[in-house]
Amino acid sequence: MAAPPRKSFPLRLDPALHAAIERSAAGDLRSINAQVECLLREALARRGVKLDAPAPVKRGRPAKESDDAG
């Protein structure tokens, strides 16, 4: 089952805020995008907003197709 497509939108940030998120992301070994998403989820959880767990991202090469002829 494929995960639903991700939503994208432009986001304007103060340069100092962007730099702080970039430093935080580097410390957590995440992309800036993943860090922003993580921070938003944490903020919503603190406010009592319940969210489904994020769909895991498949990484690496796709599995090889099996060869039934051999």
Share of the chain above pLDDT 90, in %: 57
pLDDT for position 1: 56
Domain extent listing, the chain? 15-46
Q: Would you give the end-to-end CA distance of the chain in angstroms? A: 28
Nearest-angstrom CA–CA distance, 22 and 28: 10
- Residue type for position 59: R
Q: Residue 2's pLDDT is what?
A: 64
Taking the chain (70 residues) in consecutive chunks of 10 residues, what is each chunk's mean pLDDT?
78 97 97 95 94 79 70
In the numeric block, the tokens 């939108």 are attached to: 9
Using an 8 Å Cβ cutoff, are 48 and 41 in contact?
no
